[in-house]
Amino acid sequence: MSGAANFGSQSRRELPARMGLAGWGAAAGLVTGLPVGALMGYQGMLADRGIGAIPGWGPFILYATAAGAAIGLVVAYRPRGLAVAASCGVLIGLLGWLLFWLTLDRVLRGQTPTWSILAAAEAYPELVADLLHGGLTGAVVHGLFSLRARRSRSESAPPESEQLARVVIVGGGFGGLSAAKRFERLALRGAAIDVTLISDSNFLLFTPMLAEVASGALEPSHISAPVRAAVVHTRFRHAAVEDIDTDGRTVSLIAGSAPAERIPYDHLVLAVGSVPHFLDLPGVQAHGYTLKDLNDAILLRNHVIGLLERADHMEPDPRERERLLTFVVAGGGFAGAEAVAELFDLTHGVLHYFPG
C-alpha cells in the first residue's frame, strides 16, 4: 500500500488507536497510583474506605487506573510539552476528586453524596492525593508517548504495507505549526505518517504584537518562541526552500553553505505566509518601512529615535523639524492602527528626554 493510501485509511484505525492510548494511560495511572495509594494508606486515609471484603486501597487503585486512561486520551489528543501534560493530569485529578471522593465513594459506602463546603474540607487530603496522582500520571504519559513517537520515527525500512506517508510542511508560522500539531495528534493516534517542517526561521513570531516591539513596549523575545519546542514530535529543518518539483514530489532545500538537498514528499503543505503589498501607491515601497518581522520592528524603532535626535540637535529650521517629526502610516487595518498607537506612545513617552 502506498503512503498516500495508508494516510487515507487513518480513520479506520482511529478507534483501536484510541483504545491503545487509553491502555497506555491506564498503565501509567496504575503505576503512579501504587506509590500514591501506599502514601495514603500509610497516613490512614484509606482505613475506612473498604467495600465489603475489598480493602480500602482497592477502590483507589481502580480509580487511579480509570483516571490514567482518561489522561492518556486527553494528552494524546492535544500533545504538548511536559508541563502541559502534567497540568492536564492535575485537572483530571480535580475532576476525579469531585466524581470519586465526593460522589461515588459515598454512594459505595451507603452514604448520601453531598457537595457542601464542609464535605469538601473533609476530603481535602484526598484532593491533594488526586492532584499529585494526576500530575505524575500526566508526566509519565507524556514520557511514554514521546518515546513511542521517537521509536516510530527511528524505525528503518518499514514493511511495504506499513509505508509511512511523508508529509512536508513549508513554513513555520501560525499555519505551518498548526498543521504540524494536527499531524502530530494523528501520528500519536496511530496514523502512519512522517512529518517534516521546513522553515527559514527557527522561531515562531507572534506578528500581531510587532508594533509593541517597534515602540519598545516589548522585547523581541517576548513575542517569539522556538519552533522545535512547539512541535516536539515533528522533524524540523531550518532551511530555505529553493525549488519544488511537483512532478518528482521533492522539495529542494538550502541551509547555509551546505549543498542543496532534496526532501521527498507524498503530501505537501504550503504555509509560507504573506509579503507586504504596496498597492502600487507612489513612493510607499521606495520610502516606507514594512512591519513584517523583528528586523522591521527594530529598524523602525531606531529610525524614529534617529529622527527625534536629528530634530533635537541637528535641525534649526522649525519647518524642517516639523517635517521630520511627522509620521504617516499607509494602511488603516489592524496592523496600521496598532502601529499608529504604538508610535504615538513611543514618541510621547520619550519627548521629555529631548528638551530641544
Are the CB atoms for 291 and 341 separated by under 8 Å? no
Indicate if the alpha-carbon torsion angle 344, 345, 346, 351 is positive or negative. Answer: positive
Helix 174-188 to helix 57-77 angle, to the nearest 10 degrees?
140
Please name which of 323, 326, 320 lies closest in space to residue 347, comparing C-alpha atoms: 326
134 within 8 A of 96, measured Cβ to Cβ: yes
Q: Residue 226 in 3-state DSSP?
A: strand
Say how far apart CA 267 and CA 273 lie, in whole Å: 18
Measured CA to CA, the distance from residue 138 to residue 143 in angstroms comes to 9
| Whole-number Å distance between alpha carbons of 285 and 276 | 9
How many angstroms separate the Cα of 187 from the Cα of each of 115, 192, 315? 41, 6, 63
Cβ distance 325 to 308 under 8 Å?
Answer: yes
14 catalytically annotated? no
Q: Which three cell numbers stand for residue 56?
A: 480500602
**For residue 117, what are the contacts with CB-CB under 8 A and spacing of at least 6?**
none
- Size of the chain, expressed as the number of residues it contains: 356
Which of the residues 126, 184, 212, 338 is marked catalytic? 338
The three-point CA angle 80-85-86 to 5° equals 150
Strand bridging mode 224-226 / 165-170: unpaired
Q: Please state, in angstroms and rounded to a whole number, the distance separating the CA atoms of residues 113 and 103.
A: 5
> How many Å apart are CA 285 and CA 62, to the nearest integer?
67
Q: Which residues are catalytic?
A: 338
